[in-house]
Amino acid sequence: MIKTSSSSSNRALTRSPIPTHTHDSASTSKTSSISSPSFNGEGSSDSFSPNSNGNGNFIRKHKTSLDFICSPSDLTQSTSPKPRESSSTPKTSPSYMSPKPSSPPLSTPTITESLITSTGQKGKGSTMNGKSGLECLPRELLALVAYHLLTERGEEKDDEEIYGIHPSNLLPLLFTSKSIYEAICFDNNPQLYNTLFRVTFDIKALDRRYQWMKNHLHKNSSGKGKGKKVFDLFADPRSWAIDYKIRWEQSFRMRQVAKQCRIEIPDICDKEAYVADLWNVWFLLTENDNKNIKFLHSQCDLRGFILAFYKENLLKESLVPGYPRDTGDKALAVWCCLLAGIDDLGEDTPADVDEKIFMLRPYVFACAKYDTHYAPWHYRKLPFCPPDCVEHETDASIRLKAMTYKRFGYTWKRAPPHFVLGIYLVFFRLLERQPDRVGLKAGSSSFHFSPFEAGLPSLFSGSKLVPSIEHDREWQRNIMSQDPHTSPGLPPTSFSGMLKGFWRGKFLFYDFDLYRQILAGNMRGVYTGTFAEQAAEFELHETIVKLPKEKIGGEGPLLAAGFKDEFDEDGSQQIAIKEGYGFEICDENEEVQEGWTKEILISGRARTSWGWAKIRGRIRSWDGLVILEMTYSRHVMGRWIWRGYLHTGGYMVGRWRDTFTAENLRGYEGAFGMIRAGDPLYPDHFPKRMEDSLGVNVNVPRGQGGHSQHGQGGHSQQGQSSQNQHSSSSTTAQASSSSSAVANSHSISGTGAQGSPKESRSPEQ
């Protein structure tokens, strides 16, 4: 979360991640823990706790007269009550984005004195000086009444989690009298709404991520000690109260959008408000630990809300001439669908499915038109500018994707997850749900399954709500890797342990001739061309090394993932990587000296229908980009580069690419998606090790994308080995004969972002 200022430059937006508090009350408020559920701020005389009597020992065992007076069942029968006093009406609530400082603490009597006053010492009834007994209660007790008025209604529902209790249930109490209204209204009692936020929504992720931000964004250029003064965002209870109000206002808009299935609704919603709601939905999903998702489904109609965007934006734009745009609101919408498990919307009829496939095709197959990186993949050292940079020239070829949004009463900046990578996952899942609607090209392959696995879920069919802690790395990347010029990037070992293990996945490709035509501008091929789907299995190992900062990213060719351009015929390269590749192996938590850093090296093997391949690679620590070189043979077209990102749930998504074309040109590319065994979204019935896998099948029948009972078995079977060797040889021959056409097409489609082409070398050179 990066706060922006209207007077600051673009660079300042990303270099000053913690805002300067503009509220008057911030300078005097003390630091308080985010996760504290109590109403009372330290040192505040008008504070209260919903479960204590001031001594921390309040335990409610039975209904008192106060409970009876404020019984929710009685209040629900009142119809539009009005304030009892006819004096001036309460002041209007200020805009939720311009909160005022909290009112000074009121001088209130003790609880005993209040009760004596309210009941009368001589049994004179319930009034004193023209006020009812309820009005005479101190403000903290009135807030406690309001708190239980909402939360007890939630507890009445079979002891479910307290969620979705609409604050409109407070209206009868608020309209009882003017004095009660002024005591518990939003302006005068932000502590009440602060605590209602904590009991209604999940806050563990907020607490955890805010502490991480304080620890990693407030260090000096050396990464040690304290840098800028830490700003305590949540010291003022109004910050939480503002978001409580925003989320309930949002729930009404979302229901109206879902009901009318359109975004532009006069006096209710427009595009700007819709995008703001998308941000809030994304935060609710990535911070979900059970309460948030109930709020979204019960109070917001999340599915209908996203369906309106799908019809109003994605489908309509697919009918406009030219390639559709890649925008931040699309990225938020598609990732919200995936995280909530509702990416199957728009598939009610076969015609709807065909329409959806038509809409998705350009994002999946027109790789040259859409970027999938936070910074170009061929940059090894990031950021470009030193920490003390004041001015720098912006690379016009680099498109920044950071967006501004409002939260907790401030404006922030963040880069949403990549839209196209989310589309890849949506497309892979669609292929498994609707195999008959997508005609796969002959030559596709799938995993071999035993008869006992027939009818079980496919690889990408999993849809689970994962705990909020699983989203933390994505949250960190979105804030730390916004701008390759100035953003500091992630710590070097942020993704340590996230890549090692057994992976299963699939990759898509067009044949060379058709892809060359697409590069030359043939859009028809994007929408009508047939494609093949191949199954793949990886077994990967990680090695953490410490090295000088100037050697990060390797010293070899980028098309060899930074390693020496040598063919690993005897396995020596694999052994060298596991031993540190000339650098000292270190532990994840080991400190390094000034001028040094850490890097994660990768080694392993892969299996596809083309045969066995050796893998070596590394993780670019700045944004967690995984770069893998997969080598089948000594031929240049027997070697491929896979580049992708690790995402929540165990996904690794990105693009494979040929190594014949120079890295700064548009090469032959396609989408891939992998899932690691043991992670939340990996099917339980799938093998957990390479040794347990039965391998992959070849030549899946046209239109068959699901489980197949035919083909050869595991890697130990000679039949598959011979078939794979033949497939690999024929594919390599086809690739070498067609790769020149791909390279020559650059004269039509233009060069890459870095200008003049570089000389391409084969592994033997």
The residue written with tokens 């879920």 in the block is: 457
DSSP string, 472-517: HHHHHHHHHSS-TTT-----TTTTTTSS-EEEEEEEEE--HHHHHH
Q: Can you tell me the distance from the alpha carbon of 460 to that of 674, in angstroms, rounded to the nearest whole number? A: 9
Comparing C-alpha atoms, which of 646, 595, 651 is closest to residue 617? 646
Sign of CA dihedral 575, 581, 583, 587: negative
Pair type for strands 410-414 and 2-3: antiparallel
d(Cα 456, Cα 437) in Å, to the nearest integer?
20
Phi, psi of 468 (to 5 degrees): -60, -30
> 410-414 and 127-128 as β-strands: parallel, antiparallel, unpaired?
unpaired
Burial of 628 (0-12, 13-18, 19+ CB in 10 A): buried
CA geometry: angle 173, 179, 182, nearest 5 deg: 80
> What is the rounded distance in angstroms from the CA atom of residue 231 to the CA atom of residue 60?
38
Tell me the backbone φ, ψ of residue 170, rounded to 5 degrees.
Answer: -85, -10
Sign of the alpha-carbon dihedral angle for 480, 481, 482, 488: positive
Question: pTM of the entire structure?
Answer: 0.77
Tokens 């229901």 belong to residue: 255
Paired residues of 642 in beta bridges: 628, 656
For the record, the structure tokens of 144 come out as 């406690």
The single-letter DSSP state of residue 722 is H
pLDDT at 184: 94
Averages of pLDDT over runs of 10 residues in the chain (765 residues) are 42 37 39 39 40 42 35 37 39 38 40 36 46 83 91 54 70 91 93 94 94 75 48 84 95 96 96 97 96 93 96 95 95 97 93 94 95 93 84 78 93 95 96 80 72 78 91 95 92 95 94 90 89 94 96 93 82 92 93 94 93 95 96 81 96 95 91 96 93 78 39 36 38 41 37 32 31
Q: Where are the beta strands (DSSP E) in 148-187?
A: none
d(CA 83, CA 94): 20
- The answer to whether the CB of 250 falls within 8 A of the CB of 277 is yes
Sign of CA dihedral 193, 197, 199, 204: negative
Beta-bridged to residue 739, according to DSSP, are none
Closest CA relative to residue 469, chosen from 151, 80, 665, 202: 202
Which residue do the tokens 């002041």 mark? 91
Amino acid making up residue 738: S
The full length of the chain comes to 765
Please report how the helices 350-365 and 419-433 are oriented relative to each other, as an axis angle in degrees rounded to 10.
Answer: 140
- Reduce the DSSP state of residue 213 to 3 states and report it: helix
682 dihedral zone (left: phi>0; alpha: psi -120 to 50; beta): beta
List C-alpha distances in Å: 717 to 427, 471, 657, 695, 723: 32, 41, 30, 10, 10
- The three-class DSSP label of residue 207 is helix
What's the pLDDT score for residue 698? Answer: 66
Q: 244-253 burial string, b = 16+ CB within 10 Å, else e?
A: bbbbbebbeb
Distance CA 753, CA 397 (A): 6
Query: Are 619 and 603 within 8 A, CB to CB?
Result: no
Domain locations along the chain: 186-216+235-385+400-438+459-489, 447-455+491-699
The dihedral through the CA atoms of 707, 712, 715, 717 has a sign that is positive
> Is the alpha carbon torsion for 561, 562, 567, 573 positive or negative?
negative
Task: Decide: residue 720, CB within 10 A, 0-12 exposed, 13-18 middle, 19+ buried.
Answer: buried
Can you tell me the distance from the alpha carbon of 662 to that of 752, in angstroms, rounded to the nearest whole number? 9
Which two tokens mark 379?
A: 């940059």
Cis status, amide bond into 387, omega within 30 of 0: no
Query: Residue 667: is it exposed, middle or buried by C-beta count within 10 angstroms (0-12/13-18/19+)?
Result: buried
Tokens for 111?
A: 């609880």
- Token match 């032959």: residue? 668
Contacts of 383-391 with C-beta under 8 Å, sequence gap 24+, read 383/483, 383/484, 383/485, 383/486, 383/487, 383/488, 383/489, 383/622, 384/484, 384/485, 385/485, 385/486, 386/221, 387/221, 387/488, 388/221, 389/11, 389/485, 389/486, 391/11
Q: Which residues contact 378 (CB under 8 A, 6 or more apart)?
A: 558, 663, 664, 754
What 8-state DSSP symbol labels residue 18?
S
User: From CA 329, how far away is CA 279, in angstroms rounded?
Assistant: 9
CB 608 within 8 A of CB 536: yes
Rounded-to-integer distance, Cα 147 and Cα 165, Å: 11
Tell me the C-alpha distance between 557 and 566, whole Å: 10
Strand-pairing partners, residue 299, are: none
φ, ψ dihedrals at 300, nearest 5°: -120, -15
Asked whether the beta carbons of 154 and 163 are under 8 A apart, the reply is: yes
Distance of alpha carbon 591 from alpha carbon 430, whole angstroms:
45
The span from the CA of 614 to the CA of 463, in Å, is: 32
- CA distance linking residue 30 with residue 662, whole number of Å: 57
